[in-house]
Amino acid sequence: RVFSASRLASRVVRLSGALEENVLLAAGGDDTGELYAAMRSFAGQGDERRIALAERHRAAFGANGPVLDAYAEGCYDGVHLLVALAAAGVLSAREATAAARRLLAGDGEAEGWACAPLGPPGAGGYLARADGLDLTVITRL
């Protein structure tokens, strides 16, 4: 808030690799138009997988549940990766790293993701701009 009130606010572009919806809300938002975030996902990105996850989240926690942010999505995907590794029978430390790489790359063993209702997570990320209390996705990275 102090930065937003300073004369630098309209001249300095800020980019964060860790700014998600909960942090923006806690900071009171940003209306400078110069605060950007690069993350794997955002609540407002609107792709099919994110919408399906948001519907499952709302069904579980209701309309007043916590914001479904990139960290929550990463935790969700991590749990399903663990289930996929267990289904493939590769939970030992020696086998798990290589198997996880194959699963996340989409090479073989895709049936391991059959336990994950939304399938494997996608690669890449998004760039979003803070608009008040919202992060608006402006492009895919």
Looking at residue 45, its pLDDT comes to: 81
Average pLDDT of the chain is 84
10 Å Cβ neighbour count for 125?
Answer: 17
Question: How would you class 121 by CB atoms within 10 Å of its CB: exposed for 0-12, middle for 13-18, buried for 19 or more?
Answer: buried
Is pLDDT above 70 for 114? no
Average pLDDT over residues 41-63: 88
Mean pLDDT to the nearest integer, 22-30: 91
What is the model's pTM? 0.72
Residue partners of 36: CB distance under 8 A and separation at least 6 = 13, 14, 15, 16, 127, 128, 129, 130
Euclidean distance between CA atoms 106 and 94, whole angstroms: 20
In the chain, helix, strand, coil percent, each to 5? 45, 15, 40
SS3 100: helix
pLDDT mean over 11-24: 91
Tokens (6 digits) for 18: 């860790």
At residue 108, the pLDDT reads 54
- What residue ranges do the domains of the chain occupy? 1-40+125-141, 49-123
**Residue 109 reports pLDDT greater than 60:** no
pLDDT tens readout for residues 70-106: 888 888 888 888 888 887 777 777 777 777 777 776 6
% of the chain at pLDDT higher than 90 = 28
